[in-house]
Structure 1
Amino acid sequence: MGAGKAAGDACTGDLCIGAVVPHTGRLAALGDPLSYVIGRLGSRLPAVADGARRRRLRIVCRDSRSDPAVARRVTRELAERDGVRLVVTMAGTKVLPAVADACEELGVPCLSTTFPWQAYVYGRGATRKRPFGWTYHFAWGLDDIADVFAEMWERIGPGRKVGCLWNDDLQGRLLRDGDHGFVPTAAGRGHTLVDPGGYREAAGDLSAHVDRFRDRGCEIVTSAATAEDLALFHRQARERGLRPRLVTCSRWLAYPRGGGIASALGGAGVATLVYWSPRHPYRSSLDGTSARALADAYEQQTGRPWLQPLGLAHALLEVAAHALATAEDPTDRRSVADAIGRTRLPTMAGTLDWTNGPTPNVALIPLIGGQWQQGRNRPHELALVTHTRLPQVPLDADLTPAY
């Protein structure tokens, strides 16, 4: 099916938003924020004016099973069988691009988040001058991660020697790219990056990386490792005499799951990026709910700690509803895609602006720095330790090196 009106409309007069979520499989925990927000907002989305009539908004969910091939298939089902007007998705370095690519091929607007924009754009074959036609994203850049991490490294001292624990997959390749993102930004701030090369996930042995960092005198290690691989690295580092004063990690630490992993990294001085927290001064464009209220409601309903992606999941549905409400024809997919492209909207994730991004398909989110520290209410809590990009977010701790 191509662009324009939705075919095979199973929504019977409603305007349907498709959601591809990893309910099952290895990414199931990453799907939790979007599942929660869909349950919270699904029945409360405002109706949309379509000429003289008002159409109800409805969300149709499909399980990606954490598999890119399944994600492609269910995206096609949403487009062709269910007649959705746009698709939302988040999480998964292979699953998210699979959904976005399927939408691009089918001529269906797609909105996604939680993936550095350079990976989203360059990893899928677009350029700034040749952007996508149907797929839109909001997140941060690899250069933004580098700036936040470098600021934390510089709390230890200028011009640090930093060991790079990066995999051999798309994420690692983009992090070490000399033109886009992390490496030129970090090096431009005077830091020396020591990169022994990529490793394959899941790692069975990271001793070669440990030895290289130790022999080169790296006081800091930066990583985009999974929880399990970072714990393996930390254990082997202790065994082989490497004691980094600080570890920065940009991946799993947004999801505070697994107390065992956190305990295994205790004392490592692990810091991470922060893109959303209950302390952020953001509110929903739908009903004015604050970031604090959303986090509290999640914890009360689930019994689990709040998650950073919670605010971004909420913003996905805000932007989807806004695009359908402002499209010249909310039943026409091209019209809905164009509406996303001209959106500038204050949301639970901050003000998202597709009119002023690094590409026409990307809206940026500012990052600040956080560190996992001994908590008052839990063994490990995320403390906000730097806020240069967003000074209106209050800090609640100082960065604490491991020694």
Structure 2
Amino acid sequence: MKARLLAPFAPNLTKLMLCAVTAGSLMWTGQMLAAQDDDTIRIGFISPRTGPLASFGKTDGFILEQARLALANGMTVAGKHYQVEIIDRDSQSDPARASQLAKELINQDVDLMLAISTPEVINPVADASEAAGIPFISTVMPWEAWYYGRGAKPGEASPFKWTYHFGFGTDEFYRTYLSQWSLIDTNKKVGVMYPNDADGNAIRAVLKPRIEKAGYTVIDPGAYETGTSDFSSQIALFKSEGVEIINSFPIPPDFAAFWRQAAQQGLHRQIKIIQIAKTGLFPSDIEVLGSLGPKIASAAYWHKTFPYTSPLTGQNGEELAALWEKQTGEQWTQQLGATLSLFDAGTEALKQSKNPMSRTSVRDAIAKLNVTTIGGQVDFTSGPVPNVASGPIIGAQWVKGTGKFKLDYVITENVTDTNVPVTHTLLQYNR
């Protein structure tokens, strides 16, 4: 902050030095110069580390350590050296708190805001950043829920000047699901469980019609409210319609309640593919289901076998996952690479800006960013819409573990990024 306050006086520093005739004033001038040389870039970071979305934020403390270690000596931009400070906050899975935290970080004069994981965290932070004119990047939610969910209109110019998002969208889900579902012979009846939230509404509006157009019959019992405890009506409908595929976008507690009830009422015996998103991403989501967990199909926005390296830390996926497991004794999760990819993109934008402490310069660098992160390519110059860079979602499945962990997370298809190796055949759930 000291350097920011002194910046307007920089043109007069030479005059000040000439006038500094006492030892005390010479010392004061030297402190001013040192402060100017030691400007600090401040990065704000908000994620859900507690609350119902805590599984998304579980590894963020570890990634913050990796990022801070990599930035311990600062960075040089356009020939000038800067220290870097990361200020992290826990949204507690509460959208109102996420918005308030963003405003607090904005008041702390952050140069770049980062947010990750679900609309409940990302959208309120993005809105606060947009209103304040703070450069912002996010990942890990469908981009349609970010773009249209915040007021953009199809075919119209983007209303966003400061906020950017990268990652998967409904096109990636569509391509991955059709690729994955084609691996097992079914009657093509899909029961969908889309909640009444930003994710669910975006998926229902965009993905559902494309699935139907591809020849699948979609059985939709309607939007349900997050926190629903009784799914009997949905289960009865799926049973009566002979559904063999289920596609769902719930938060983890809702899916656990639904799938346990499905088993109690016998639905699980007719399901050949249970395809879930937003939950089932992490081992803990599946382990709580006990014997009902193995063979649940998922989709990976990152996997340790992604063949990419972090430009920030120099780690590849296998190295990052191994370090996590060594330090914590716990199984790696896909959030490791997702969070690191966000810091990869953010720090690369700062490095490519003409002035990392100029908001417009950082914003312009983000708009032109095209970089390979540990999660793959992030290219804001190619759409699919302004302010968005698309990313892969890879077909995966949870199977019984063959090593020290109860479950293994394996890749079953790779249509959205063929550089990612397919390692296993998709297993039918009810066998």
The one-letter amino acid of 1:160's match is K
1:171-227 CA-to-partner distances (Å, cap 9, x unmatched) read 2222211xx3x1132122211111011111212111111111111111111111233
Is the 2:187–2:244 contact (alpha carbons within 8 Å) kept by the matching residues of 1?
no
Provide the C-alpha distance between the structure 2 equivalents of 1:31 and 1:122, rounded to a whole number of angstroms: 25
Alignment of 1:148 onto 2:176: yes
1:346 alignment counterpart: 372
Work out which of the residue numbers 164, 189, 199 in structure 1 matches 2:192: 164
1:314-334 CA-to-partner distances (Å, cap 9, x unmatched) read 111111111111112211111
1:336 alignment counterpart: 362
Work out which of the residue numbers 264, 277, 294 in structure 1 matches 2:320: 294
Provide the C-alpha distance between the structure 1 equivalents of 2:397 and 2:5, rounded to a whole number of angstroms: 48
Provide the C-alpha distance between the structure 1 equivalents of 2:278 and 2:6, rounded to a whole number of angstroms: 39
1:159 Cα offset (Å): 6.2
Is the 2:371–2:377 contact (alpha carbons within 8 Å) kept by the matching residues of 1?
yes
Number of aligned residue pairs: give it: 394
1:65 alignment counterpart: 92
1:381 alignment counterpart: 408
Provide the C-alpha distance between the structure 1 equivalents of 2:348 and 2:214, rounded to a whole number of angstroms: 39
Work out which of the residue numbers 248, 259, 265 in structure 2 matches 1:234: 259
1:103 alignment counterpart: 129
CA gap 1:86/1:202 in 2 versus in 1, 3 angstroms? same
| TM-score (norm: length of structure 1) | 0.91
1:317 alignment counterpart: 343
| TM-score (norm: length of structure 2) | 0.86
For structure 1, the residue ranges without an aligned partner over 5 or more in a row are none
Cα root mean square deviation, aligned: 2.4
Per mean C-alpha deviation after superposition, the further-off stretch among 49-58 and 362-371 is 49-58
Q: How does 1:212-291 map to 2 (within 5 A)?
A: 212-242=237-267, 243-258=270-285, 260-263=287-290, 265-266=292-293, 269-291=295-317
Provide the C-alpha distance between the structure 2 equivalents of 1:288 and 1:76, rounded to a whole number of angstroms: 32
Per mean C-alpha deviation after superposition, the further-off stretch among 87-96 and 127-136 is 127-136
Alignment of 1:195 onto 2:223: no
Q: How does 1:36-115 map to 2 (within 5 A)?
A: 36-45=62-71, 47-49=74-76, 53-80=80-107, 82-115=108-141
1:26 Cα offset (Å): 3.1
The one-letter amino acid of 1:283's match is T
Provide the C-alpha distance between the structure 1 equivalents of 2:166 and 2:5, rounded to a whole number of angstroms: 28
% identical aligned pairs: 33
For structure 2, the residue ranges without an aligned partner over 5 or more in a row are 8-34
1:133 alignment counterpart: 161
The one-letter amino acid of 2:230's match is D
Is the 1:18–1:61 contact (alpha carbons within 8 Å) kept by the matching residues of 2?
yes
Structure with larger Rg: 2
Is the 1:282–1:347 contact (alpha carbons within 8 Å) kept by the matching residues of 2?
yes
**SS across alignment from 1:94:** helix
Provide the C-alpha distance between the structure 2 equivalents of 1:8 and 1:171, rounded to a whole number of angstroms: 45
Per mean C-alpha deviation after superposition, the further-off stretch among 236-245 and 295-304 is 236-245
1:247-275 CA-to-partner distances (Å, cap 9, x unmatched) read 000111112215642415235x3101112
The one-letter amino acid of 2:290's match is S
The one-letter amino acid of 1:172's match is G
Provide the C-alpha distance between the structure 2 equivalents of 1:130 and 1:39, rounded to a whole number of angstroms: 39
